[in-house]
Amino acid sequence: MKQKRWKRFGAALLAAAMSLLQMPSGLTIAEDDAPEIYVRQDTVSEDGASAVHWINADGEEYIPDLLPEYGLRAGNAGDSYDLRVNGKGLPAVRNQDKTGTCWAHASLGSIESYLIQNGKETTDINLSEGHLVWFSNCMACSDPSDPLYGEGEALGSEGYMSGGSYLTALEALASWSGYELEANMKPVTDKPTFLEKDRYNSYGHVQNLLIYDKDDHEAIQNSIMTNGGLYASIHYASSYLNNTSSYAAYNCPDSSLETNHAILIVGWDDNFSKDNFKNKPSSNGAWLCRNSYGSSWGKGGYFYLSYEDATLMEVVSFSAEPVDNYDNIYQYDRGYWTYAKVKSNYDGIAGANIFTAAREENLAAVSFMTTDASVGYIVRVYTNLTGSRPNSGQLACEMSGTELYAGYHTIDLNKLVTLKKGTKFSVVVILDKGSMEMDNHSNQSGVSYLSYYRNSGYTNWNEPVLPDSTTKVNVCIKAFTNDGYSLDEDNFPDPVIRNYAATFDANKDGVLTRREIASNTETSVDFSNTGLTDITGLEIFKSIKTLKCSNNPLYMLDLSGTNITTLICEDCGIELGTVDCKDIFALGLDEDKLDPISGMLFERGQLAFEDNTLVYSYDCGNGQSADFTIKAEQIEHTISRWTAANVHLHYRKCVNCGYREDEYHVFGDWVTGDDGEDYITCTLCGYSESEPHNYGEWEPVKGGHARTCIHCKGTEFEPHTVSKWTTTSTGHSGFCSVCNSTIDGEEHDFTYKQNSDGTHTATCSVCGYATTVKHTFGEWQINADGTHSRVCKDCGLTESSKHTFGAYKQNSDGTHTHTCTVCGYAETAKHSFGDYVQNADGTHTHTCKDCGYAETSKHSFGSYVQNKDGTHTHTCTVCG
């Protein structure tokens, strides 16, 4: 079931409400100049996610242009990416159970992922969906002193079932509520309740929200890699899910279906097969998504969403900062429900909010929304306003730029804007296209304004008021400030400077306000012999022109940001014991500020120490410099492996500071490579040289002559080179012309060739003498396969044949034996008798088939059997 929800006023009022905006005095803008107004309409689903639409009085929907003219692209992102594997991880899968809070899970999941991916948190981070939902849907602001008094939904516990969107989350988060740790809250499944005092209990602040075109894959991929997971909404129905043991894949092809569920995109796979989907898309590729149905759903709580899913919408990334990034927030809006669209005949639309400073503070940043991509903006801050117009004061700061992506943007100001308590100041934001975002409810008059803008200036400033109702509308612009300087180690690390600054803390509250800072009119300070190590914090005292700080443990000074133009710093430095060089390197000495240097040098951007005393002149800025000394009893290095420098030397360096040692190569023994070259290698660095073999003289050896390489000691052999041999049957003689030696009666070195006639021919490999003789067989050998064989002692010929047995010989044990007449192998076996033959004498005989041995015995009759003719018969049990 779905329902339409309009915030604060009914749909019937919409047409009249959007016709024009008017001044509080009743003066109205001419109809032609009235902004075209679009009001947000959420289609709420029981599944939890609300589809967001912007509708004007004619029922026309505003479709923002979300594709930037240019922007960051993933480039070489690769075919696939998974934040769990390729990124810095993800928290555990969450479970919304039976609540309609998927939008809160997806929004906070994006924040958690951003913090992890950017090294600000570990995967243990767990933000409270209950806190976000309660202060978004369940309880409107009930503090009359709060500028947002009465803002927000007030649905009670039903708010846990009423759904929401990324805008629902942003309304609370951008207002500094709804951002709390789960450890401090009850789980969302308990539908917890909270008190008004808990509204601004915050663990951090949402800084930006960027909205991507769902088809801009490269931009989305780049955002995943840099900002972590992205909130996205889809239409979910289980009938479109293909859930297997290996993966869960989802594709809804029906573009007419409204989104009803929010998820978190955490990666992609360009090659994820289209065949894996129940509703098969035309191409491969899918987003890897985390659901909020617990780890037992899908594949461990994750699933793949086809690139072609027709319902994918609202792809959004959140970014956040620690809670202490700003001290205070100034705001009037608690929602993003109304668009005022830029008209084509103007150069832009301007929105402004007027605030009053509550204390001594510094304006640090402002925030606003853009509805489209590639929107140029101008931010102007006016202070000390003299009238009701936002630009009636002094222009204190102006910045301009372009926001590539639609969304919520926090802009840090490029200069310090000092605000005194009670000062009226305004923040003006000019957008060159798209729309100006507004709430549709305000508790105050004279604080929020709209104006069309031309290059020549603003048109009439108008307070947005719906003409047919008493509902005022606030522009969605916020301001962020920081209080004065606390007298702590963060602002003043060195106690010498901290104690000096404390002397100007007039009310002794531990906070140095700008007025107190300004009370310091000293132009010269002397911190010599005080143990000063760091002048950080001194830059806030702009009256100081001269600094004396001799005889202190200083090794560098940074005067940038100060007005100091005279520096007296003599005999300064630090003394160290035995230290690792990286500890000295970590001191932060900037090579660009060191000149001249004694005792150290820079090599390839690394600091290298030549001895243990370093003397240098340091450029302190503002045209000032000072000489410093660092002394160490001993500097220890982490030395790398030896690396070849050239044919003579190798070197090794400290991996931390660049310190270098050079030595000559230490070569090992020569070895011969596969290419026949001789190689010699340094045993320390692996440097290698090669040369051909360097042989000595030929020396006679048996069968020829040999020579030895003087490098590797390897030998090379050759037969003798003899012009004519003198041969006998036993040897040969001659003179070798290579080794100049006489060979006298050297035995032949025969090689044998077997002939078919039972002979073999022996040929001397040296002199060529040949002779043919019969084989010289050894003894017959008995084989297991019933054969015997013998081998020629010279040529190795093997001769095999079956046994040739003689006649059997009968043995006394009932066996017989026959013997091979060739090799003497004897084989004994039992007799192999034939059938019994009956004899006339009442006996029977059977004879061995092999040796003829006959065996006769009496019949062995069985029992008598009676016959019908008056006789009986008994039969021999052996022969029958």
pLDDT digits (tens, 9 = 90+) for 222-268: 999 999 999 999 999 999 999 999 999 999 999 999 999 999 999 99
- Those residues whose C-beta lies under 8 Å from the C-beta of residue 399, and which sit 6 or more positions away, are 378, 379, 411, 413, 414
What's residue 115's pLDDT?
98
Task: Say if residue 836's pLDDT is above 60.
Answer: yes
Distances in Å between the Cα of 682 and the Cα atoms of 666, 673, 692, 714 are: 5, 15, 18, 20
Q: Please tell me the distance from the alpha carbon of residue 831 to that of residue 814, in angstroms, as a whole number.
A: 7
Distances in Å between the Cα of 212 and the Cα atoms of 68, 222, 223, 373, 405 are: 9, 11, 9, 9, 7
Q: Which has more pLDDT, 368 or 660? A: 368
Phi, psi torsion values for 641, nearest 5 degrees? -70, 160
Residue with tokens 């340094």: 682
What's residue 868's pLDDT?
92
What's residue 453's pLDDT?
80
What's residue 607's pLDDT?
53
Return the closest-CA partner of residue 318 out of 211, 162, 194, 441.
Answer: 211
Distance of CA 285 to the CA centre of its chain: 21
CB atoms within 10 A of CB 634: 9
Q: Which has more pLDDT, 721 or 315? A: 315
User: What confidence tier does 72 reach under pLDDT thresholds 50, 70, 90?
Assistant: low
Burial annotation 435-467 (CB, 10 A radius, 16+ → b, else e): bbbbbbbbbeeebbbbbbbeeeebbebbbbbbe
Residue 527 and residue 567 in contact, taking contact as beta carbons nearer than 8 Å: no
Q: Please tell me the distance from the alpha carbon of residue 317 to that of residue 106, in angstroms, as a whole number.
A: 10
* Pair type for strands 36-45 and 241-243: unpaired
Question: Average model confidence (pLDDT) for the chain?
Answer: 87
User: What confidence tier does 429 reach under pLDDT thresholds 50, 70, 90?
Assistant: very high
User: What confidence tier does 467 reach under pLDDT thresholds 50, 70, 90?
Assistant: very low
Task: Say if residue 875's pLDDT is above 60.
Answer: yes
> Which of 26-30, 227-231, 478-482 holds the top average pLDDT?
227-231
Global pTM?
A: 0.57
Q: Is 693 left (phi over 0), alpha (psi -120 to 50) or beta?
A: beta
Q: How far apart are the first and last CA of the chain?
A: 103
Alpha helices in 165-289 (DSSP H): 166-173, 217-227
Phi, psi torsion values for 584, nearest 5 degrees? -75, -40
Task: Say if residue 860's pLDDT is above 80.
Answer: yes
What's residue 342's pLDDT?
60
Q: For the chain, what's the residue count? A: 880
CB atoms within 10 A of CB 508: 8
Q: Of 397-411, 483-497, 618-632, give the lowest mean pLDDT range.
A: 483-497
